[in-house]
């Protein structure tokens, strides 16, 4: 194989337009002309570094191996001749963001006492765009707030004089043993929080016996995340995979083959996000100018920071197939022989349909309140299933995702028939401290759960049952019928008489 061509900075700088676009990443010179318009983050950030060294912004978000796996070898046009680097060429482009100044240094990890403490630290120390992306929710945040507040409206009915000296939080999720009934929810681009991103979450989760569900939009390829873990001594790795089905089905098929080859045997198909909701906090903080409103490259336009804003959620989801429906399940089963869980069920009717279709599990979830505001809070959906589709609990595993912040929340969901719960934002905020933060979060939740079990009067999770909770404060909000109890669909307007 021929040695890559050595290219001077002067040669590279000549390729600085949308129609002829080269960038340098870690000393390699890549032709991005064809790929840039399809970049999930928009062409703008690539154009900002056209003809320049883009190593720093690239490595902040992406895995080192991603370019080699995404682009063909023909797009590698050469290597940078470092002897030609001048101060003017090495200087960051004028459109680059000023370095984020932290409002406060992170306090020592041992001083944090709750998931709320992790969130408070994250708000003060994450980059403004990162915080906006992860903390944001749809429009008026009604559902986002209700996810948490509805857990507070469910009361325990503790039993006393029970021997609770020894408690056991161990459980099973999709046949895999776990140390407590929680999962790490899939979330995009965790590298925004920590350089090791999802790999750090995976290490923290594995060390504490918790399963991580890896997002299609993870910062690292799934094989890099899996290979960062020690080989599993028994059974599949402690990973599930979340799938967004691409408009290009062959891309999803290839991804599923890759996931299967790694020993992962369960996928979570997200069904509540054919497109992203309006997340105003995320839209307000511009993609590439989050502090000072610096525009994109002059004359190029703003494919990221458009008239709707700069929402990362909207940008990164542009590849998702909006036409996905129930009739596509046979296609999925053709290309995936393992277990399938539908993530994003919000009513009893769809839960019944999932059971009828023979799915292995469902996640009752409203996507953390990030898509359709005023969709029902997650714990209320669980009660909807009990009232209107109780048979689903005998046919598939049911998970709750949304609003879980305490060990008491976990126990309430288990008492009400959930197999397990899933947490998203708390894991991302704990990642602010690296894998040690993830481990600390899990220990914190495990301790809270164990204490809650003791004070309710049980010593193992299989002793949990609905009689240990009082849902009267929310029962009147649980639907009683498939349709509306009294409102009728409006008839088509009558044609005007001539």
With tokens 């240990």, the residue in question is: 468
Q: Could you tell me if residue 344 is left (phi over 0), alpha (psi between -120 and 50 degrees) or otherwise beta?
A: left
Q: Which of 393, 404, 416, 398 is nearest to 471 (CA)?
A: 416
Q: What Rg do the C-alpha atoms of the chain give, in angstroms? A: 25
Q: Are 455 and 147 spatial neighbours (Cβ–Cβ below 8 Å)?
A: no
Q: Which of 445, 451, 382 is nearest to 178 (CA)?
A: 445
Q: Are 351 and 392 spatial neighbours (Cβ–Cβ below 8 Å)?
A: yes
CA distance 396 to 432: 35
User: SS3 sequence, 181-198?
Assistant: CEEECCCCCHHHCCCCHH
Q: Are 152 and 412 spatial neighbours (Cβ–Cβ below 8 Å)?
A: no
- 3-class DSSP state of 265: coil
Q: Which of 350, 160, 382 is nearest to 271 (CA)?
A: 350
From 272, 288, 401, 409, the catalytic residue = 272
The total number of residues shown for the chain amounts to: 498
CA distance 228 to 199: 6
Please report which helix (H) or strand (E) contains residue 316, including its range.
helix 312-316
Burial of 406 from C-beta contacts in 10 A (0-12 / 13-18 / 19+):
buried
Q: Does the annotation count 440 as an active-site position?
A: no
Q: Does the annotation count 386 as an active-site position?
A: no
Q: Does the annotation count 443 as an active-site position?
A: no
Structure tokens at 334: 């053709």
From 194, 367, 409, 433, the catalytic residue = 367
Structure tokens at 375: 């969709």
CA distance 436 to 434: 5
Active site amino acids: 244, 272, 367
């Amino acid at each position: 194989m021929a040695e890559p061509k050595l290219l001077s900075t002067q040669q590279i700088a000549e390729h600085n337009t949308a129609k002829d676009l080269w960038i340098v990443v870690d000393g390699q010179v890549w032709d991005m002309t064809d790929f840039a318009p399809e970049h999930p983050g928009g062409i703008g950030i690539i154009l900002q570094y056209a003809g320049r060294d883009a190593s720093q912004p690239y490595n902040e978000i992406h895995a080192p191996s991603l370019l080699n796996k995404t682009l063909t070898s023909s797009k590698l046009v050469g290597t940078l001749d470092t002897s030609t680097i001048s101060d003017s060429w090495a200087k960051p482009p004028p459109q680059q963001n000023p370095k984020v100044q932290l409002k406060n240094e992170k306090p020592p990890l041992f001083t944090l006492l709750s998931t709320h403490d992790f969130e408070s630290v994250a708000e003060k120390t994450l980059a403004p765009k990162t915080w906006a992306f992860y903390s944001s929710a749809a429009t008026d945040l009604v559902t986002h707030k209700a996810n948490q507040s509805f857990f507070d409206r469910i009361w325990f009915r503790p039993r006393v004089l029970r021997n609770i000296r020894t408690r056991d939080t161990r459980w099973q999720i999709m046949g895999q043993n776990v140390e407590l009934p929680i999962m790490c929810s899939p979330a995009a681009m965790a590298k925004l929080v920590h350089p090791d991103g999802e790999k750090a979450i995976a290490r923290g989760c594995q060390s504490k016996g918790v399963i991580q569900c890896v997002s299609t939009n993870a910062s690292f390829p799934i094989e890099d995340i899996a290979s960062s873990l020690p080989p599993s001594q028994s059974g599949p790795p402690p990973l599930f995979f979340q799938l967004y089905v691409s408009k290009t089905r062959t891309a999803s098929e290839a991804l599923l083959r890759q996931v299967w080859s790694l020993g992962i045997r369960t996928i979570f198909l997200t069904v509540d996000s054919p497109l992203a909701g309006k997340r105003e906090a995320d839209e307000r903080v511009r993609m590439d100018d989050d502090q000072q409103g610096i525009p994109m490259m002059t004359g190029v336009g703003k494919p990221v920071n458009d008239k709707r804003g700069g929402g990362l959620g909207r940008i990164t989801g542009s590849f998702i197939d909006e036409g996905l429906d129930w009739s596509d399940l046979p296609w999925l089963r053709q290309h995936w022989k393992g277990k399938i869980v539908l993530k994003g069920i919000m009513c009893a009717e769809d839960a019944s349909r999932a059971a009828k279709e023979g799915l292995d599990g469902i996640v009752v979830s409203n996507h953390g309140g990030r898509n359709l505001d005023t969709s029902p809070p997650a714990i209320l959906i669980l009660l909807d299933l009990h009232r209107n589709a109780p048979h689903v609990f005998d046919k598939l595993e049911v998970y709750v995702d949304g609003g879980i912040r305490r060990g008491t929340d976990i126990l309430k969901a288990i008492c009400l028939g959930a197999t397990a719960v899933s947490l998203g934002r708390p894991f991302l905020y704990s990642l602010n401290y690296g894998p040690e933060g993830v481990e600390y979060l899990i220990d914190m939740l495990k301790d809270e759960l164990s204490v809650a079990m003791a004070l309710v009067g049980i010593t193992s999770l299989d002793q949990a049952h609905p009689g240990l909770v009082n849902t009267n404060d929310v029962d009147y909000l649980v639907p009683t019928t498939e349709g509306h109890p009294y409102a009728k669909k409006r008839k088509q307007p009558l044609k005007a008489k001539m």
